[in-house]
Amino acid sequence: MASDADKILDYSSLPPVPVLDDVAESSLGTESKIIDVPILNKLLKIYTEQVRRKDGDSTLDILFLHGQRFSSKNWLEIKSLQHTANWGYRAVAVDLPGYGKSPNTLEPEHDGEFLKSLISVLGLGRPVIVSPSMSGGFSLAYLFDNPSSSTDRAVAYVPVAPVLTSKFVSHFRTSQIPTLIVVGTKDVAIGQKSTADLKNLPNSFYAPIGGASHSCYLENPDAWHRLLYHFLKHLKY
């Protein structure tokens, strides 16, 4: 069993990610569209952004969710979609129900069911789920209502100070899903509590971003991309 020290990722010790220059970006294809996601006998209009290489198949699907004050556009602005596509993955970001360009709202008790339907409509299979803050209500319900089978629904999980971890903490120890716990060291509210809960996941790695607060991936995109690249590169799927 790995020691606690072995399970900490220090972004400053990781090599830079592959260069995303104009040539690299010109090799990527982007698509923005609204899809229909069926749930509760109705269709929700959900806005999506997708980036992938124009030539060649993607090796893995990465699904980016977002926090309460944000949307899919933030992942484009810091180029997380472009970076992950450049690494050979299919990158998808969505505006969750009632946010950004997705007009329809949804009661929270259906969040997990919605995410299951969304993943099916997008044809993602078993994605890596990136889930900051508010989106924890969706990702945690989807993955950990039945924790022993969470790896049947996703290859890996990348929570960034998600909400509602205390609701599922008793489920975590029975899940083997590879997890990268990213948190800003100045996030003393949600970040500290969610990190303590998420460390109960047996196959988790702790990745603090020094000097950053709740939206650490926006404050230090370089650290964020290094951590994500290193984690994805070592996944087995």
Q: Is 187 a catalytic residue?
A: yes
Amino acid letter, 154: A
Say if residues 206 and 181 touch (Cβ distance below 8 Å): yes
Residue 209 tokens read as 């971003």
CA separation for the pair 123, 197 (Å, rounded): 31
CA separation for the pair 15, 232 (Å, rounded): 14
Which candidate in 61, 95, 111, 187 is catalytic? 187
Which candidate in 66, 83, 171, 214 is catalytic? 214
Q: Is 21 a catalytic residue?
A: no
Which candidate in 80, 133, 135, 215 is catalytic? 133
Q: Is 135 a catalytic residue?
A: no
Catalytic residue numbers, as ranges: 133, 187, 214
